[in-house]
Amino acid sequence: VPFATGLEAVRRLVPLAPAGATMAQFALRWVIDQPGVSTVIPGARSPEQAKANAAAADLEPLSADVLAAVEEVYRDVVAPEVAGRW
């Protein structure tokens, strides 16, 4: 997606992240919460980043309202940019 589109998506996602969580942790928690996902293997450049990534599993599952809001951001902001590309 164009850089400006990505920034718009992030602007809308930031308020949805759990208090105290990084955006990376929020993204990982979202992946964990997807049906059928049993394992998430994120990359890390340092031991600290690996620990921060692992902490995403300690976050409470995202609420149905937050999951719906993330879907809305994708549908409204990202999908129009990627539709028909695959």
| CA dihedral sign of residues 4, 85, 22, 18 | positive
Between 85 and 56, name the one with better pLDDT. Answer: 56
pLDDT at 85: 76
Residues 5 and 81: beta-carbon distance below 8 Å = yes
Domain edges within the chain: 3-82
pLDDT tens across 1-58, in order? 999 999 999 999 999 999 999 999 999 999 999 999 999 999 999 999 999 999 999 9
pLDDT tens across 51-77, in order? 999 999 999 999 999 999 999 999 999
